Amino acid sequence: MHVVAVLALDGVMPFELAIPHRILGSTVGADGRPLYRVVTCSLDGGPVRTTADFVVAVDHGPDVLRSADTIVIPPFGSPDEPLEVAQQEQVAEVLATRRRSSRLVSICGAAWLLAAIGHLDGRPATTHWLLTEDFRREFPAVALDPDVLFVDDGDVLTAAGAAAGIDLCLHLVRQDHGAEVANRVARHCVVPPHRDGGQQQYIPRSVPAEVSASTAGARAWALEHLGDRLPLAVLARRANMSVRTFTRRFRDETGVSPTQWLLEQRVDLARRLLETTELPVERIAAEVGLGTGAGMRQHFQRVVGVSPSAYRRTFRAEATA
pLDDT, tens digit, 9 for 90 and up, residues 100-114 = 999 999 999 999 999
- C-alpha 299, offset from chain centre: 20
pTM of the model: 0.76
What are the two backbone dihedrals, phi and then psi, of residue 173, each rounded to the nearest 5 degrees? -60, -40
pLDDT band with cut points at 50, 70 and 90 for residue 320: low
Q: Which of 13-27, 61-75, 206-220 has the lowest mean pLDDT?
A: 206-220
Beta carbons of 172 and 154 less than 8 angstroms apart: no
Neighbouring C-beta atoms of residue 318, cutoff 10 Å: 12
In terms of phi and psi (left: phi > 0; alpha: psi -120 to 50; beta: otherwise), the region of 313 is alpha
Segment 153-208, tens digit of pLDDT: 999 999 998 889 999 999 999 989 988 898 889 888 888 766 655 555 544 443 44
Q: What is the dihedral of CA 202, 205, 207, 209, to 10 degrees?
A: -130
Runs of H (alpha helix) within 36-163: 64-67, 85-96, 110-116, 132-138
Segment 34-85, tens digit of pLDDT: 999 999 999 999 999 999 999 999 999 999 999 999 999 999 986 666 678 8
> DSSP 3-state assignment of 77?
coil
What's the distance, Cα to Cα, between the start and end of the chain in Å?
12
Query: What does the mean pLDDT of the chain come to?
Result: 89
